[in-house]
């Protein structure tokens, strides 16, 4: 305050002296400098943003266990052969059942339930409806759905989950750990049965140990109806009990009324799946962590599992990666360049050892790309996503054994190691006193043991969007000058309100984007069965007609209106860029990965957008090139187009009209999972893209 006052006084003194120049503050000077040279800086910043994204794999840090209380691997495993034989027996019984019976009824569930209760657990069965999520525009961000039990349910199709609870002998019963094993009770695969065997082995141990402080719940879900839905149904029932007796409870022979049991708050959940045969020499453990909207479980949970799997049980641990990137030659070249730079830096100063081998870089980028993609998509990568909706840290572990499912001799060892891994993890989580909170929630993985934290990856995004406000400011100044020249009457020329016309146009198109976003809901309400292709055509035509109506109603919006009505394109572009900037920044808070990928697409498009007519008229190579670039970028930026291109990158070529159907299905999945990416596409990307189109065909 005091210094401010002094500054003012100084300024006053200066003006009193009559000196005409008041020196502005350094920050203002810097701002003016940046705005004045915005073209150069925007190129520099955008390039730096892309470069920062490319060097992210180099900046990845090794993961470490951040929470002291976890202490993974400090306790000796207590699994005995008796436990393993319990597990093997269950698997054998289930297999025998399949040999003698055809799958119907709830016999397998009862069998598992019997095993659980023999071990001393409280067992109950839960019936649920397989009905999936329905798109409802108001349900975005509204938290987990309350799947209200419908009154007029049919008993034709319903699933039955089995759950067993082991109470901690001396625990306070306030917390619990959930183990989930999806199992198809009708078709029952051999590999799936192995996951039951591992968990049963573990459960047999946990039923007799004295060190539990949290209750253990083993949930065998009915995976006939997908992996996700049964878990979600169980969680809903667990967290929001329904006091209305549903007809569903009386269906079939199993009466499950009033039997649902609970333990305390879920501290962590592990989903175990066994499938396929490992391609490697070791058993492979894949970790899936992404939940809806790019939410991740606490990094400590992944660390614990990874530590125990690698250092104790000798699994080969991997996370998803984009396989097609591994063979891409341009990425390899970049990796080699980085390697060479790293080596050079090391010769200059031995302390600078940031260089990594090109092969590692390639692996890291492929994993990072997959991590970014999964988070950006906003669709959970497994049943663990259902837990994230209740703020529970959960991951899916998919184990691929190296032996065929009927090999008896290997099975024993496999059960032992799998159960030991889970035992160690549970013992670590059991040691926790609070929720997971020490380690990161915002991160990208580049390998199971390397991560990039939010502080690092935000830099790439910040650099990418930094040019937007600069360019907006410089364009605004430019546009104002142009307007002052063009208007004859200086009294009309209210300088500060010039952007209002442009803002009206931007607002109109954003409103349109909002309506287009909501359209699928109404299209779904149209009676009759329609193929996704037809629906997408319906959507396309409605949207285009709405666009034409907007252009017709609001004069000045349209790129085809007369020059007199049209706003100055520079001011329009300035407001567009501002809107894009705000949209991207908001999105980066909700889902960083979406914002990052969106920015990669939207920032160059917005920056390059300029009227094509003057460029054609001038016939200068530079302006022609600029016009060509902006056209190309706009073509790529069209959501459907980008979808097709990314499909092509992932190796699935889609052409023709089926593309519409595919795109519709994709969008449907987005809103079904309540992905914010859908909102982003409809309410930020699409309007900005349309505005850039307006600028491209501006009649100036």
Partner 1 sequence: MKIVILVMLLCYSFAFSSGDTTIHTNNWAVLVCTSRFWFNYRHMANTLSLYRTVKRLGIPDERIILMLADDMACNARNEYPAQVFNNENHKLNLYGDNVEVDYRGYEVTVENFLRVLTGRHENAVPRSKRLLSDEGSHILLYMTGHGGDEFLKFQDAEELQSHDLADAVKQMKEKRRFKELMIMVDTCQAATLFNQLQSPGVLAIGSSLKGENSYSHHLDSDVGVSVVDRFTYYTLAFFERLNIYDNASLNSLFRSYDPKLLMSTAYYRTDLYQPHLAEVPVTNFFGSVMETIHTDSVYKAFSSKTSNNKINSEMPVNQLSEHDELQKANIPNDELKTEKQKCPYTQMRVDLHEKLEKFENVDTVVNLGIAVMVFVVMISSSLL
Q: Interface residues with partner 1 (CB under 8 A)?
A: 68-69, 71, 74-76, 168-172, 209-213, 427, 430-431, 433
Give the whole-angstrom CA distance, residue 199 versus residue 89: 12
Alpha-carbon torsion, ordered 275, 280, 282, 284, to 10 deg = -40
493 CB neighbour count, 10 Å cutoff = 14
Q: How far is the CB of 214 from partner 1 (least distance, A)?
A: 8
Q: At what angle do helices 569-590 and 686-696 cross, to 10 degrees?
A: 160
Least separation in angstroms between residue 67's CB and partner 1 is: 9
304 vs 695 by CB, closer to partner 1? 304
Neighbours of 96 (CB within 10 A): 11
Angle ∠(384,387,391) on CA atoms, nearest 5: 130
CB of 266 to partner 1, least distance (A): 17
Indicate the residue among 72 and 418 with the shorter CB distance to partner 1. Answer: 72
Name residue 126's beta-bridge partners. Answer: 161
**Facing residues of 122 across strands?**
165
Task: Compare residues 46 and 428 and give the one whose CB is closer to partner 1.
Answer: 428
Q: Nearer to partner 1 by C-beta: 421 or 670?
A: 421
Q: Which is nearer to partner 1, 267 or 445 (CB)?
A: 267
Torsion angle of alpha carbons 390, 391, 393, 397, nearest 10°? 40
Spatial neighbors of 398 by CB under 8 A, at least 6 apart, are 273, 274, 275, 285, 286, 287, 288, 382
CB of 205 to partner 1, least distance (A): 13
Minimum CB separation from partner 1 for residue 311, in Å?
14
**For partner 1, which is the closer residue by CB, 433 or 655?**
433
Helix (H), strand (E), coil (C) string for 287-352: EECCCHHHCCCCHHHHHHHHHHHHHHCCCEEEECCCHHHHCCHHHHHHHHHHHHHHHHHHHHCCCC
Structure tokens belonging to residue 396: 């899916």
Do 258 and 250 form a contact (C-beta atoms < 8 A)? no
Q: How far is the CB of 70 from partner 1 (least distance, A)?
A: 8
Nearest-approach distance from CB 85 to partner 1, in angstroms: 23
Would you say 1 or 433 has its CB closer to partner 1? 433
Q: Which is nearer to partner 1, 305 or 325 (CB)?
A: 305
- Minimum distance from CB of 581 to partner 1 (Å)? 43
The string over 163-175, giving b where at least 16 C-beta atoms fall within 10 Å of a residue's C-beta and e elsewhere, is bbbbbbeebeeeb
Smallest distance from partner 1 to CB 430, Å? 6
Is the CB of residue 268 less than 8 Å from the CB of residue 177? yes
215 or 501, CB closer to partner 1?
215
């Amino acid at each position: 305050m005091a210094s401010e006052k002094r500054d003012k006084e100084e300024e006053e003194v200066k003006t009193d002296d009559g000196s005409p120049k008041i020196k502005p503050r350094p920050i203002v000077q810097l701002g003016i400098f940046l705005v004045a040279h915005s073209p150069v800086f925007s190129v520099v910043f955008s390039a730096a943003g892309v470069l920062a994204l490319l060097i992210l794999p180099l900046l990845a840090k090794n993961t470490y266990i951040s929470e002291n209380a976890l202490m993974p691997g400090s306790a000796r495993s207590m699994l005995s052969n008796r436990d393993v034989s319990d597990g093997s027996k269950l698997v054998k019984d289930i297999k025998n059942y399949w040999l003698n019976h055809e799958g119907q009824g709830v016999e397998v569930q009862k069998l598992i339930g019997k095993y659980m209760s023999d071990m001393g657990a409280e067992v109950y069965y839960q019936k649920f409806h397989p009905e999936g999520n329905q798109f409802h525009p108001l349900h975005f961000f509204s938290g987990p759905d309350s799947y209200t039990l419908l009154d007029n349910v049919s008993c034709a199709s319903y699933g039955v989950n089995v759950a067993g609870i082991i109470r901690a002998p001396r625990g306070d019963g306030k917390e619990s750990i959930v183990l989930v094993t999806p199992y198809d009770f009708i078709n029952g695969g051999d590999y799936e049965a192995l996951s039951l065997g591992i968990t049963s082995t573990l459960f047999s141990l946990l039923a007799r140990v004295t060190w539990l402080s949290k209750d253990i719940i083993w949930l065998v879900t009915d995976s006939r109806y997908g992996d996700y839905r049964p878990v979600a149904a169980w969680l809903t029932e667990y967290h929001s009990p329904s006091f209305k007796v549903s007809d569903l409870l009386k269906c079939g022979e199993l009466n499950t009324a009033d039997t649902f049991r609970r333990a305390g708050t879920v501290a962590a959940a592990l989903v175990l799946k066994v499938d396929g045969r490992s391609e490697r020499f070791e058993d492979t453990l894949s970790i899936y962590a992404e939940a809806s909207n790019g939410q991740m479980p606490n990094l400590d949970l992944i660390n614990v599992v990874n530590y125990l799997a690698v250092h104790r049980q000798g699994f080969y641990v991997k996370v998803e990666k984009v396989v097609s990137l591994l063979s891409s030659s341009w990425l390899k070249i970049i990796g080699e360049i980085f390697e060479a730079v790293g080596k050079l830096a090391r010769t200059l100063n031995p302390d600078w050892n940031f260089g990594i081998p090109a092969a590692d870089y390639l692996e890291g980028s492929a994993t990072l790309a997959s991590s970014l993609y999964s988070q950006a998509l906003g669709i959970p990568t497994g049943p663990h996503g259902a837990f994230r909706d209740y703020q529970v840290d959960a991951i899916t572990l998919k184990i691929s054994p190296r032996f065929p499912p009927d090999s008896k001799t290997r099975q024993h060892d496999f059960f032992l190691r799998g159960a030991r891994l889970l035992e160690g993890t549970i013992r670590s989580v059991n040691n926790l006193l609070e929720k997971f909170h020490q380690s990161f929630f915002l991160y990208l993985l580049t390998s199971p043991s390397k991560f990039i934290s939010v502080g690092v990856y935000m830099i790439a995004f910040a650099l990418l969007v930094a040019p937007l406000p600069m360019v907006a400011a410089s364009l605004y100044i430019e546009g104002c000058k142009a307007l002052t020249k063009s208007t004859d009457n200086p009294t009309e020329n209210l300088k500060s309100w010039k952007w209002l016309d442009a803002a009206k146009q931007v607002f109109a198109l954003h409103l349109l984007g909002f309506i287009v976003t909501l359209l699928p809901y109404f299209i779904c309400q149209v009676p009759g069965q329609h193929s996704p292709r037809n629906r997408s055509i319906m959507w396309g035509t409605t949207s285009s007609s709405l666009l034409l109506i907007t252009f017709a109603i609001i004069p000045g919006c349209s790129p085809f209106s007369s020059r007199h009505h049209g706003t100055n394109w520079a001011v329009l572009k300035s407001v567009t860029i501002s809107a894009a900037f705000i949209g991207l920044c908001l999105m980066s808070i909700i889902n960083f990965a979406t914002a990052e990928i969106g920015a990669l697409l939207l920032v160059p498009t917005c920056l390059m957008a300029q009227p094509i007519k003057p460029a054609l008229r001038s016939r200068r190579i530079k302006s022609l090139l600029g016009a060509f670039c902006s056209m190309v970028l706009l073509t790529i930026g069209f959501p459907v187009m980008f979808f097709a291109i990314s499909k092509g990158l992932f190796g699935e070529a889609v052409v023709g009209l089926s593309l519409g159907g595919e795109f519709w299905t994709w969008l449907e999945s987005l809103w079904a999972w309540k992905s914010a990416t859908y909102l982003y596409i409809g309410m930020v990307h699409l309007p900005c893209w349309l505005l850039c189109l307006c600028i491209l065909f501006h009649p100036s």
